[in-house]
Amino acid sequence: MFGNWLKTSILMAGIVALFGAVGAMIGGQQGMLIALLVGGGMNVWAYWFSDKMVLKMYNARQVDATTSPYLYNMVRELANRANMPMPKVYIIDEAQPNAFATGRNPDNAAVAATSGIMRMLSERELRGVMAHELAHVKNRDILISTMSATVAGAISMLAQFGMFFGGRGDNRPHPALQILVMILAPMAAMIIQMAISRTREFGADRGGAEISGDPEALASALAKIEAYAKGIPMHAAEEHPETAQMMIMNPLSGGGLRGLFSTHPSTQERIARLRAMLR
């Protein structure tokens, strides 16, 4: 518990510092003070509303025992096994197989699965995936991931704003500095996400295997998702790449910097760790 609150505090402090740095570039000391206030306000807003924003980004639709009994009853059974509150359940109409969890705590959580993952995986494998997402909820990872996804996009937009409107007259920073900040600010946001995200996946894999009682099912699901996800673009994720770290598997099709700053550990290592639980 303390570790997650520490990570959240570090994330919030890093976000406010980035806002301040870009604000200083845009408007000097006054700009920095305004940006620090905006960054602080953004943290408060993200705490309460970032989950709803992310679900809206993906056009996720909420389902229940009537509209999607297969997925809803599966999540309910797993939540009962984990002795945790029943989260809201959503389906995302995307062909790519993927899933994520969001919310500020276990009492205000949601899990979402794409229509593609429901078609591709067997029932046993899908149970493993949804157990993984519930483990994120139980471990209280979801606040960190949802907030970082929301504010990373805001930092990128602020940096681009600074590129075109930073300063006036003698107060305008050197163009080379503007370009540097425009590149480094979003990169710093990605590094913050990466630093707090990769270890969470290993923890959720183990927790999900324990909830489902079937480590091999999750290992098999990860292998299938890895094989197919890269070949099937996920349009919402491509439009909002800052949300990629929330998914069970990196949904982005591009390489380069996106691969270098991947927030997900190696799928092969994840599978190896799960299968080691069977020994």
The band of 46, judged by pLDDT with boundaries at 50, 70 and 90, is: confident
216 is in an annotated binding site: no
Residue 252: the pLDDT is 85
Q: Which residues contact 139 (CB under 8 A, 6 or more apart)?
A: 4, 200, 203, 204, 207
Q: Are strands 88-92 and 61-63 parallel, antiparallel or unpaired?
A: antiparallel
Any known ligand binding at 132? yes
**CATH, domain range 49-145+174-276:** 3.30.2010.10
Active-site annotation, residues: 133
pTM for this entry: 0.79
Contact, 50 vs 92, CB < 8 A?
A: no
Strand 109-114 and strand 88-92: pairing?
parallel
| pLDDT of res. 193 | 59
Whole-number pLDDT of residue 30: 72
Query: What's the alpha-carbon Rg for the chain, to the nearest Å?
Result: 20
What is the reported pLDDT for 260? 47
| Tens digit of each residue's pLDDT (9 = 90 or more) over 71-117 | 999 999 999 999 999 999 999 999 999 999 999 889 999 999 999 99
Output the average pLDDT for the chain: 81
* Least confident residue range of 1-5, 54-58, 65-69, 82-86: 1-5
Query: pLDDT per residue over 11-33, tens digit each?
Result: 667 766 776 776 776 666 776 77
DSSP string, 165-202: H---GGGSPPHHHHHHHHHHHHHHHHHHHHHHHHHHHH
Contacts with 180 (C-beta within 8 Å, 6 or more apart), sequence order: none
Q: What is the pLDDT of residues 156-196, one digit of tens each?
A: 666 555 555 455 445 555 565 556 656 666 666 666 656 56
| Both structure tokens of 204 | 């959720």
Q: Is 136 annotated as a binding residue?
A: yes
At 122, phi and psi to the nearest 5?
A: -70, 165
pLDDT digits (tens, 9 = 90+) for 201-245: 999 999 999 999 999 999 999 999 999 987 899 989 988 887 888
